[in-house]
Structure 1
Amino acid sequence: MSREHDLPQPPSRRLLLKSAAAAGALTAASAVPGVAHAQPRRAAPYENPLVRQRADPHIHRHTDGHYYFTATAPEYDRIILRRSRTLGGLSTAAESVIWRAHPTGDMGAHIWAPELHRIGGKWYIYFASAPAEDIWKIRIWVLENAHPDPFKGTWVEKGQVKTAWETFSLDATTFTHRGTRYLCWAQHEPGLDNNTGLFLSEMANPWTLTGPQIRLSTPEFDWECVGFKVNEGPYALKRNGRIFLTYSASATDYHYCVGMLTVDADANLMDPASWSKSPTPVFTSNDTTKQYGPGHNCFTVAEDGRSDVLVYHARQYKEIVGDPLNDPNRHTRVQKLNWNADGTPNFGIPVADVVKEGT
């Protein structure tokens, strides 16, 4: 969630037209004669938007059979949780405020992009925030809750995740691979002409980094540098002998899009040369379905426990008046993630909104 402003240059029309054509092909291929009522559900099995005015969404499917949802509230002043036994149920699930910004000092402003993780029998929330008196001094912070139910117990402030530099940093995510826990995040690297790149480090515990911190990616392609030079919002998905690390790029208006890094599961994750970067975005705005600025995604699984689900936010209109950060209408959305024959993810396009009867 970088601080972006409206910019006049649109993303590549070639990419948008290519995505729209692919959407038409997929819709035609999925048609099943004689099953008129089943067709809409096959094309869009979830009702979108899933949760309105909740950006940077994170959904964790826990072993208790529940989906746990958190996201950025447009007031940037609190951390919320929802819970449901189904993904669709998150739309109407009761929302609880489990932590609020401090009135003064650290963690007092810009409460952004919380992620909920279960680590070592405890709950952890990673989020970005700034001091109330210095609202762009944004850093990564961690909360811990030892209660089995994250809606209960006490959320303890474990402090700031200390990185190599005291610079603008945000959007931390964590994952394990072959017994090692990693943190990936976005940060401004001193001396580089960009806003944020992506970094990776091993962890000594859920709030402490250890060993070297490597740069995985920096904005270099045109589609990563529209308005602001941004790589942010990383999230890992392990499938088919590889780790796919998605991230978001460019301004948070309709230029916002998703890129992807890939590494072989047998490679050394802490060697930057092990990672390859897709030269084109994997998920972009779409004029046909009228979804703009899709990004800051994560992944979960469907109720069947097998089908992968893409979770992201997007707006329903292209033009924004003023600073996009002051526009509250980034809505949480979900859709099935498909797979190509070579084992790589096929994101498709952001699906159109579901129009309910009577609306």
Structure 2
Amino acid sequence: MKILYALAVSSLLFFSCGSRKTVESSAATSQTFTNPIAKGADPWVIRYRDNYYVCKATGGGKGQRPGITVSKSPFLTRPGKSIVVWQTPENAWNQACVWAPELHHIGNRWYIYYAAGKSGPPYINQRSGVLESVSDDPQGAYIDKGILQTGSDPNDYVKTIWAIDLTVASIKGKLYAVWSGWERNRNTDQTSQRLYIASMSNPWTISSPRVEISRPEENWERGGPLDLNEGPQFLQRKGKTFIIYSTRESWTKEYRLGQLMLKNENLSPLEKSNWTKKGPVFQGTDRVLGTGHASFTTSPDGREWWIFYHAKISEKHGWDRDLRLQPFTWDKAGEPVFGQPVPAGQPIRKPSGEL
């Protein structure tokens, strides 16, 4: 009997220890995630009322036109189901090639800024447009507010100049738009891109002439087949305004992020001399390639800052990319510190408040 009792106790301890290890392993897994979190490119996320909304372009399935989707989730690391909120019209300037949509909440309406064209390739017809929600529901219906005046060209089919990746933000109570554009329209898409800024009188109207604030001129912005500045994103904290943008070529492993900083919040953003440039502030490694076109948000409890970006899946030139997340910090001078991109499959602790 003593032998049987000893065996029983021994067995109980064995299974208890094994069970505890399983629970500990499960707990550790539930507190972390790994990149990538999805396929795609040009990721945009915005946090609103305890949910994260991700806005993406869709090529449309068989018999469907291209369009834009919005997903909703309480989890930053797990995007929700995508709902189609808009599809391109037929026989219009924006009937094809929908790129890099962004979702912004201004007043009591939502606005989606996007690039599109009447045809492509070549992508010489890309222009920037804006949609307005009919209610305060970001996944509800939208109406087309038209094309944005990103430079005047009386000889162009829509009387404006090539523009993509338009984004907006308020600085000292005034709304501004920043985008990637050409100096003038051309008949080839092998054209270098610059960053422009202009003021807005409302979310669908640019009200001042555009001003160039950046072009690819630094060594870390140059050296490829086509030097680019694109994908600008505002990042604001404690009175400081930054524009984090993508540079080099999106189809290469050298794609990376640069930074513009407004020297003082009381200075006009419409003066190039009021911005300082540095970079690269975030770039690939031998394990993470072509990091670029980022957006930014905070953790569910608001204690952490996170960067949402895309990376290339291989060294081969092309646009096969996936979506990735990781936290970043701020230095004593109040500037963002993005660090190095975390390799795919390496555990990252989930955003604070998401556990």
1:58-77 equivalent positions in 2, closer than 5 A = 58-62=44-48, 64-73=49-58, 77=66
Please state whether the residue corresponding to 1:282 is helix, strand or coil: strand
Q: Distance in 2 between matches of 1:107 and 1:74?
A: 13
Describe the superposition over 1:109-155 as per-residue Cα deviations: whole angstroms up to 9, x where unpaired. Answer: 21000000111211110000001378531000111112121222x31
Aligned mates of 2:67, 2:124 — CA distance in 1: 17
Call closer, same or farther: CA 1:254–1:72 in 2, change over 3 Å.
Answer: farther
Structure 1 residue ranges without an equivalent (≥5) = 1-35
Task: Kindly state the Cα deviation for residue 164 of structure 1 after the two structures are TM-superposed.
Answer: 1.9
SS across alignment from 1:89: coil
Distance in 2, Cα, partners of 1:135 & 1:272 = 28
What do residues 287-327 of structure 1 show as CA deviations (whole Å, max 9, x unaligned)?
1xx2111111111111111311111111232223xxx2xx4
Q: What pairs up with 1:216-231 in 2 under 5 angstroms?
A: 216-225=213-222, 226-231=224-229
**Alignment correspondent of 2:269:** 269
Provide, for residues 236-271 of structure 1, a one-character-per-residue CA deviation record: whole Å limited to 9, x for no partner: 111244211100011112111100001122322222
CA distance in 1, matches of 2:322, 2:255: 14
Which residue of 71, 74, 78 corresponds with 1:85?
74
Checking the alignment, whether the CA contact within 8 Å between 2:162 and 2:184 is kept in structure 1 is no
Q: Residue 83 of structure 2 corresponds to which residue in structure 1?
A: 96
Q: 2:248 aligned with 1:259, yes or no? A: no
**Which one has the largest radius of gyration?**
2
Tell me the amino acid that sits aligned with residue 73 of structure 2: S
Deviation sequence 1:143-177 (CA, Å, 0-9, x none) = 1112121222x310100001223222110000011
In structure 2, the residue matched to 1:140 is 128
For 1:55, the equivalent position in structure 2 comes to 41
Share of identical aligned residues, percent? 31
Structure 2: tracts of 5 or more residues without a match: 1-23, 153-159, 348-355
Question: Whose relative contact order is higher, 1 or 2, with alpha carbons under 8 Å and at least 6 apart?
Answer: 1
Q: Does 1:300 align with 2:303?
A: no
In the alignment, the residues of structure 1 paired with residue 249 and residue 123 of structure 2 have an alpha-carbon distance, to the nearest angstrom, of 19
8 A contact 1:46–1:335 mirrored in 2: no
- Counterparts of 2:197 and 2:51 in 1: how far apart (Å)? 29
Given the alignment, which residue of 323, 326, 333 partners 2:324?
A: 333
Tell me if the contact between 1:55 and 1:73 (Cα under 8 Å) persists in the aligned partners: no
Question: Given residue 132 of structure 2, which amino acid in structure 1 is its aligned partner?
Answer: E
Q: Residue 177 of structure 1: which of 171, 178, 185 is its match?
A: 171
Which of 243, 246, 252 is the aligned partner of 2:244? 246
The one-letter amino acid of 1:337's match is F
In the superposition, relative to structure 1, how do residues 241 and 205 fare at CA in structure 2: closer, same or farther (>3 Å)? closer
CA contact (8 A) 1:45 1:335 kept: no
Runs of 4+ in 1 over 6 A off after TM superposition: none
The match for 1:18 is none
Cα distance in 2, alignment partners of residues 96 and 158 from structure 1: 20
Match of 2:339 among 343, 348, 353: 348
1:233 aligned partner: 231
CA distance in 2, matches of 1:72, 1:338: 29
The letter of the residue matching 1:86 is: F
Distance 2:221 2:66 in 1: 28
Whether the 8 Å contact between 1:237 and 1:244 is mirrored in structure 2 is yes
Q: Give the structure-2-normalised TM-score.
A: 0.79
Whole-angstrom CA distance in 2 between matches of 1:293 and 1:129: 23
Do the aligned partners of 1:171 and 1:234 also contact (CA within 8 Å) in 2?
yes
Look up the equivalent residue of 1:70 and give its one-letter code.
Answer: C
Q: 1:317-346 CA deviation, whole Å, 9 max, x = no partner?
A: 2223xxx2xx4x311111101122322111
The alpha carbon displacement at 1:46 in A equals 4.1
Change (3 A) 1:101 1:191: closer
| Structure 2 Cα separation of the partners of residues 251 and 73 of structure 1 | 22
Q: Could you tell me whether the CA contact under 8 Å between 2:162 and 2:185 is conserved in 1?
A: no
Alignment-mate amino acid for residue 321 of structure 2: R
**Contact (CA 8 Å) 1:257, 1:295: kept in 2 or not?**
yes
1:355 shift after superposition: 6.1
Q: Say which SS state the counterpart of residue 302 (structure 2) adopts.
A: coil
For 1:283, the equivalent position in structure 2 comes to: 282
- What is the CA–CA distance in structure 2 between the aligned matches of 1:45 and 1:341, rounded to whole Å? 28
TM-score, length of structure 1 as denominator length = 0.79
* Contact residue 103 and residue 132 of structure 1 kept, 8 A: no
The amino acid across from 1:222 in the alignment is: N
Structural RMSD (CA): 2.7
Conserved 8 A contact 1:55-1:74: no
